[in-house]
């Protein structure tokens, strides 16, 4: 790796940034920060950055703090003369606010895109963003990477599921679940879910499984788990069909409040996510996929 490449460890993604730097054999630049009593963040970069400056920072809760920290660091890279400033944001907040669903709503994702661009970001890399449409607000280069292969390989290697069935908790995740099921050479099924726009309540319309899941291991696959409501409802529905074990897998495990306990109580044996968000269930490392994309970026830049 070019010595003029700096991997910056944002406060929210220190461990992941360390793994990426190790994979690349690149310089890791740690970022000192301080949170004042009034909630303000002070960022100090004590080490010069290279021409290729790559920040790794997820924007999970506290969302606005992590987002602003990312913008502050990226702005400093630009101010220091880095000509190739990239942001790796494995979990991109505000992707669910990509349209005006109710009259008067702010399309927050459009603002987030402008903010990243305003501080000199040239490229953005994210993982399994909730709404791919939200990336249309960016005018810079964007890449939405997939963790499907990593999650599937983890399942095959570590769980060794018995006659697996892959279930998407909603129709919108059918493509992701189908790709996952193809790797496992097995069946896939999508539940029909609806959610009230002004609440977190989840409902499953009346439907019957087209597969006999008795004695089979069921994998509920989603892009993210927030409050866990969708996974809980899906698990309670599936338990009635006498599966062997139920596993919940996702790229981003926010696990708001007591989501993990609720999911386990609903019949899920194990929750497995990537390390886009650190936590107890973050068992799948994203660094190989992110590192490969960074190499592509540096190589393309070198050709110019």
Q: pTM score > 0.85 for this model?
A: yes
DSSP-derived 3-state class of residue 8: strand
pLDDT class of 47 with cuts at 50, 70, 90: confident
Structure confidence by residue, pLDDT tens digits, 207-248 = 677 779 999 999 999 999 999 999 999 999 999 999 999 999
Q: Bigger pLDDT: 152 or 196?
A: 152
- 272, 155 Cβ separation under 8 angstroms: yes
Task: Please indicate, yes or no, whether residues 18 and 101 belong to a single structural domain of this protein.
Answer: yes
Residue 196 in this model has a pLDDT that exceeds 80: no
Percent of the chain with pLDDT over 90: 82
Rounded to an integer, what distance in angstroms lies between the CA atom of residue 172 and that of residue 176? 9
Task: Please indicate, yes or no, whether residues 109 and 173 belong to a single structural domain of this protein.
Answer: no
> Which residues fall within 8 angstroms of residue 303, CB to CB, at 6 or more apart?
none
For the domain that residue 30 is a member of, what is the CATH number? 3.40.50.2020
Residue 264: active-site member: no
Determine which of 29-38, 170-179, 204-213 has the lowest per-residue pLDDT on average: 204-213
Determine which of 122-126, 259-263, 296-300 has the lowest per-residue pLDDT on average: 296-300
Task: Please indicate, yes or no, whether residues 244 and 291 belong to a single structural domain of this protein.
Answer: no
Residue 180 in this model has a pLDDT that exceeds 80: yes
**pLDDT, average across residues 276-304:** 90
Q: What DSSP assignment string belongs to 167-225?
A: EESSGGGHHHHHHHHHHHT-EEEE--EEE-TTS--EEE-S---SS--TT--EEEEEEEE
**pLDDT, average across residues 278-291:** 98
DSSP-derived 3-state class of residue 135: helix
**pLDDT, average across residues 26-30:** 90
Task: Please indicate, yes or no, whether residues 162 and 92 belong to a single structural domain of this protein.
Answer: no
pLDDT value for 204: 59
Task: Please indicate, yes or no, whether residues 142 and 10 belong to a single structural domain of this protein.
Answer: yes
Residue 58 in this model has a pLDDT that exceeds 80: yes
Q: Which residues, listed in sequence order, are joined to residue 246 by a DSSP beta bridge?
A: 218
- Whether the upstream peptide bond of residue 62 has omega within 30° of 0, thus cis, is yes
pLDDT value for 244: 98
Q: How far from the centroid of its chain's Cα atoms is residue 164's Cα?
A: 24
Q: What DSSP assignment string belongs to 259-304?
A: HHHHHHHTT-SEEEEETTS-STTEEE--HHHHHHHHHHHHHHHHH-
pLDDT value for 2: 60
Residue 42: which H helix or E strand, with range?
strand 41-44
Task: Please indicate, yes or no, whether residues 104 and 236 belong to a single structural domain of this protein.
Answer: no
Q: Bigger pLDDT: 300 or 22?
A: 22
Residue 206 in this model has a pLDDT that exceeds 70: no
Rounded to an integer, what distance in angstroms lies between the CA atom of residue 133 and that of residue 115? 17
Rounded to an integer, what distance in angstroms lies between the CA atom of residue 5 and that of residue 84? 9
Task: Please indicate, yes or no, whether residues 125 and 238 belong to a single structural domain of this protein.
Answer: no
Task: Please indicate, yes or no, whether residues 142 and 196 belong to a single structural domain of this protein.
Answer: no
Structure confidence by residue, pLDDT tens digits, 76-106 = 999 999 989 999 999 999 999 999 988 899 9
Q: Bigger pLDDT: 206 or 146?
A: 146
Rounded to an integer, what distance in angstroms lies between the CA atom of residue 148 and that of residue 20? 19
pLDDT value for 203: 53
pLDDT value for 1: 58
Token pair for 273 = 């996510």
Rounded to an integer, what distance in angstroms lies between the CA atom of residue 18 and that of residue 28? 7
Residue 183 in this model has a pLDDT that exceeds 60: yes
Task: Please indicate, yes or no, whether residues 136 and 230 belong to a single structural domain of this protein.
Answer: no
Determine which of 21-30, 108-117, 149-158 has the lowest per-residue pLDDT on average: 21-30
pLDDT value for 192: 82
Residue 202 in this model has a pLDDT that exceeds 60: no
Residue 185 in this model has a pLDDT that exceeds 60: yes
Structural domain harbouring 232: 148-284
pLDDT value for 20: 97
> Which residues fall within 8 angstroms of residue 20, CB to CB, at 6 or more apart?
7, 26, 56, 88, 287, 290, 291, 294
* Marked catalytic residue, from 46, 160, 171, 193: 193
Task: Please indicate, yes or no, whether residues 120 and 187 belong to a single structural domain of this protein.
Answer: no
Q: Bigger pLDDT: 146 or 4?
A: 146
**pLDDT, average across residues 133-152:** 97
CB atoms within 10 A of CB 48: 10
Instruction: Name the domain count of the chain.
Output: 2
Q: What DSSP assignment string belongs to 238-265?
A: HHTT--S-EEEEEEEE---TTHHHHHHH
Task: Please indicate, yes or no, whether residues 194 and 79 belong to a single structural domain of this protein.
Answer: no
């Amino acid at each position: 790796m070019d010595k003029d490449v700096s991997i910056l460890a944002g406060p929210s993604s220190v461990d992941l940034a360390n793994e990426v730097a190790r994979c690349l054999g690149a310089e890791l630049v740690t970022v000192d920060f301080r949170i004042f009593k009034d909630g303000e963040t002070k960022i100090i970069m004590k080490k010069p950055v290279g021409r290729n400056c790559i920040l790794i920072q997820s924007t999970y809760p506290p969302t606005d703090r992590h987002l602003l920290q990312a913008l502050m660091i990226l702005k400093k890279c630009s101010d220091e003369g880095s000509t190739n400033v990239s942001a790796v944001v494995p979990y991109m907040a505000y992707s669910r606010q990509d349209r005006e669903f109710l009259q008067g709503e702010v399309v927050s994702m459009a603002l987030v895109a402008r903010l990243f661009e305003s501080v000199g970001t040239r490229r953005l890399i994210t993982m399994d963003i909730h709404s791919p449409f939200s990336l249309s607000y960016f005018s810079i280069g964007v890449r939405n990477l997939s963790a499907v292969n990593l999650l599937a390989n983890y399942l095959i290697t570590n769980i060794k599921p018995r006659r697996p069935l892959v279930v998407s908790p909603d129709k919108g995740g059918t493509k992701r679940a189908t790709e996952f099921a193809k790797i496992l050479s097995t069946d896939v099924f999508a539940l029909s879910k609806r959610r009230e726009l002004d609440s977190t309540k989840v409902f499953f319309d009346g439907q019957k499984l087209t597969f006999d899941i008795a004695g089979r291991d069921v994998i509920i696959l989603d892009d993210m788990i927030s409050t866990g409501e969708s996974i809980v409802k899906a698990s309670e529905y599936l338990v009635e069909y006498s599966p062997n074990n139920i596993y919940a897998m996702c790229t981003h495990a926010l696990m708001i409040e007591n989501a993990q306990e609720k999911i386990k109580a609903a019949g899920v044996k194990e929750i497995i996510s990537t390390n886009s968000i650190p936590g107890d269930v973050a068992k799948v490392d994203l660094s190989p996929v992110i590192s490969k994309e960074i190499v592509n970026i540096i190589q393309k830049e070198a050709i110019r």
